[in-house]
Structure 1
Amino acid sequence: MNTLLSLATRNNVLLTMAEFLDIEREAIISINKKDLNAYKGDDISMLDRLKVDDAKVDEMIAAAKHLASQEDPIGVERFSFKHDNGMQVYNKTASFGTILIIYESRPDVTVEAAGIAFKSGNKILLKGGKESLKSNLKIVELWHQALQQHNAATNWVEYLQFNRTETQAFLEKPTQKVDLIVPRGGERLIAFVKKHATCPVIISGRGNNFVFVHKAADVAIAIDIIINGKSKISACNAVDKVLIDESLPNKKEFINQLISKLTAAKIKVLGDEKIAENHQLEQISSNEIWFEEFLDYKIVIGEIASNVAAIAMINKYAGGHSSVIITKNEEEAKFFMENVDTAAVYHNASTRFTDGGQLGLGGELAISTDKLHQRGPIGLQHLVTNKWYVHGNGQIR
């Protein structure tokens, strides 16, 4: 068992990690090129997430430094109570213990997610994808050097070099205690982990986000938000579906403008029956497509009768991640935001802001579409459980 490191030690390890990332910048980028060259798949979003350049290293450094500057999430008092018999009762935040993060492609997760887990007093087991193995091992080597420099055990950050069969065996019968598993990646990965895991799992990473253009929308805002929602197709906060109020004034003109902007951005546009017929678009083959997360240069536009119908459609088909209403009507926005069942709801703003850094958390371990124990971006202050501290002087019941 790893004894909780002092806050000073945890912060110093993070600051040293930031230094090492800068010193080893060229080496990281050149090792990452080997991973990129070896990737033979055809998943463009995977390739996008795999790449490490100067900007990505700068982000990793910023994440480590920012984590070091944040307050300790451990031991925060959440509740206190003085018992009639004189006992003093506190409820305080506590680390989970050991967290396993299973992720695909992204070497930056090896810094940011591990850093969040480490700062919140947890031991981290990292299981990255084979496509980013060389990059990940280099970054873990830096973690170990930073830990050693501050006399901390290197097993605070451990890399599991497992294939699929070995991962399954570990999930079903862990060779060490695991308290929480966070899979970050596609639906196949999440289903695999849920099927085999023997401890709690936080589901993260599925998007399939919707924008509803209400009849009282500012159409210029609507176009900007939809285009921005497709600016990074590999992100789970990308937009895949657009619902347009059938009572929108100048609807045909707006849809034509939207289609031409999307087409110019090389996004393939599909329509439901009405939209496809009225705007010479390819029609969706079945309603099943409304369930799909694309992670691709593709979007579906449909017509909808009302705010109530839009909410019902989103609650049926969306991934539980993010949804938007574009409207100048505050009451309609409030009704939408209260009734749509997604982790983040937006009024006249882009889904691309569903991100720990953008929502003021400084970074994120993952974006949870589960309702327990934390929904949406999981930041430093959420990667904790709690513990009861009871002080007495001989009380018995």
Structure 2
Amino acid sequence: MPDYTIIFKTVKSATRKLMAADDAAIKETLASLVKISLAKIPFILSENAKDLALMDINDPKYDRLKLTEERILGICRELTQVQNLPTPLDRILEEKQLPNGLSIKKITVPLGVLGIIYEARPNVTFDVFALALKSGNGLILKGGSDADHSNRAIMSLVHRALKENSLPENAFQLLPPDRSATKALLEAVDYVDVIIPRGSQDLIDFVRQNSKVPVIETGAGIVHTFFDESADLDKGKAITFNSKTRRPSVCNSLDCLIIHRNRLQDLPKLVENLLDAGVTIFSDEESFPFISTHPLVQKAREEHFGTEFLSLKMSIKTVSNLEEALEHIGRYSSKHSEAIISENQTNIDIFLRSVDAAAVYANASTAFTDGNQFGLGAEIGISTQKLHARGPMALNELTSYKWIIQGNGQIRD
């Protein structure tokens, strides 16, 4: 078994060297990684195929695990976007001169060493490396066994790009997929500055409950869309379809459609393209009669609300007004992404102000909750907490700050 303490010490030491790298070297490294990755697409796909062969194709995680040439090209475009973003480091947040002559500046600095624990999502390996490098942070990755071949293939390309540009390879390490590695990382208080879990609610809960290192939660997405009494049917149909079916296995996909009682007559048209796409609908008692003849419609049970389906499944809840919709969301939301479809501006304003979530939408698909879509280049996760970062975590969220004080011999009375 590896000596994890040696790995952690090595990353921490190498991270100090990384902090001396200038942004030009970082940009060149990311450009190198893009070039290497494009040349090695067959290699990446062959290693990914080894992981896919061990997973049931019906497992909701299968789509997250799967890499294709198109997806790798998309990842490379995101790497290029991160490369071209301005550095988040050494920005002056505050500056002042005290009456005693001291000059004080508050500037952005890296968080330090990031520990990322994630499941079957090899694209995360690319994304978090790019963001960690651009923000000057060291990185310890702990992927799941489901994606181990893919993750190791990607990390071999990462280390090659770092070596080509004379940046410290040891600042970026992938741990074995063993549980012992997870335990060691969660207890590495002397070497790791923050842990960020990406995955299921069970994984997030485990990390939060067992970590001795500070944790930033990138929570599960239990996503609702409220179809208000004044909602436009065509908008609603397009938005709900996109929210649910674009990529049902990701955290911003729709889980529960909330519909105003006075619009139930429009429910068959509202969900017809969802049913055509193979979406199973768990419909509450009031909405069920309107769509009950379709074989994919079932009666909802309590467990169908507050569930992140991560598949072509969703529930429907009927309400009599906006307040009931807000109550339902307040009860079941994971505070990730919530949406209203409405032509009533007063209701829209109340919804946007009242819903406690990292991203709140009016008349748009929740599929946009994504660092790249927000113009951030990529993301390290969607934070659902309120301290330090909330929503898509990208470069700026991977920095802290420190105070720089310069004087000329001043002493305090």
TM-score (norm 1): 0.95
**Structure 1 residue aligned with 2:7:** none
Q: In 2, are the aligned partners of 1:259 and 1:269 still within 8 Å (CA)?
A: no
Measure, in 2, the Cα distance between the counterparts of 1:380 and 1:240: 29
Amino acid at match of 2:213: C
Amino acid at match of 1:179: D
**Structure 2 residue aligned with 1:262:** 274
- Equivalent positions of 1:125-140 (< 5 A) are 125-140=140-155
**Structure 1 residue aligned with 2:229:** 215
1:205 Cα shift? 4.0
1:169 Cα shift? 3.3
1:278 Cα shift? 4.5
Measure, in 2, the Cα distance between the counterparts of 1:339 and 1:98: 36
Q: In 2, are the aligned partners of 1:172 and 1:197 still within 8 Å (CA)?
A: yes
Task: Write the deviation string for residues 109-154 of structure 1: whole angstroms up to 9, x where unpaired.
Answer: 1111111011100001111111111111111111111111121211
Amino acid at match of 1:192: F
**Structure 2 residue aligned with 1:24:** 40
Amino acid at match of 1:274: E
* Residue number among 323, 328, 331 corresponding to 1:308 in the alignment: 323
**Structure 1 residue aligned with 2:5:** none
Q: In 2, are the aligned partners of 1:290 and 1:318 still within 8 Å (CA)?
A: no
When the two structures are aligned, how many residues end up with a matched partner? 391
Instruction: Tell me whether 1:110 sits opposite 2:122 in the alignment.
Output: no
Measure, in 2, the Cα distance between the counterparts of 1:41 and 1:357: 27
Q: In 2, are the aligned partners of 1:95 and 1:383 still within 8 Å (CA)?
A: yes
- Equivalent positions of 1:371-386 (< 5 A) are 371-386=386-401
1:53 Cα shift? 1.1
Farther off after superposition, 53-62 or 32-41? 32-41
Measure, in 2, the Cα distance between the counterparts of 1:258 and 1:63: 34
Measure, in 1, the Cα distance between the counterparts of 2:342 and 2:187: 48
TM-score (norm 2): 0.91
Q: In 1, are the aligned partners of 2:111 and 2:400 still within 8 Å (CA)?
A: yes
Amino acid at match of 2:272: S
Measure, in 2, the Cα distance between the counterparts of 1:74 and 1:161: 31
Give the root-mean-square deviation of aligned CA atoms: 1.5
- Equivalent positions of 1:245-394 (< 5 A) are 245-248=260-263, 251-252=264-265, 254-280=266-292, 281-286=297-302, 288-394=303-409
Determine helix, strand or coil for the equivalent of 2:154.
Answer: helix
Task: Write the deviation string for residues 199-231 of structure 1: whole angstroms up to 9, x where unpaired.
Answer: 211111411100111111111101111111111
Q: In 1, are the aligned partners of 2:79 and 2:377 still within 8 Å (CA)?
A: no
Q: In 2, are the aligned partners of 1:74 and 1:120 still within 8 Å (CA)?
A: yes
**Structure 1 residue aligned with 2:49:** 33
Task: Write the deviation string for residues 233-288 of structure 1: whole angstroms up to 9, x where unpaired.
Answer: 1010000101111233xx31x111123322111001111121124442522222x4
Measure, in 1, the Cα distance between the counterparts of 2:307 and 2:171: 38
Measure, in 2, the Cα distance between the counterparts of 1:120 and 1:111: 14
**Structure 2 residue aligned with 1:87:** 102
Determine helix, strand or coil for the equivalent of 1:274.
Answer: coil
Determine helix, strand or coil for the equivalent of 1:393.
Answer: coil
Structure 2: gaps spanning 5 or more residues: 1-12
Judged with a 3 Å threshold, the aligned counterparts in structure 2 of structure 1 residues 156 and 173 are, in CA distance, closer, same or farther, namely closer
Task: Write the deviation string for residues 40-80 of structure 1: whole angstroms up to 9, x where unpaired.
Answer: 4752x211011111111112211222111111101111111
Measure, in 1, the Cα distance between the counterparts of 2:75 and 2:253: 22
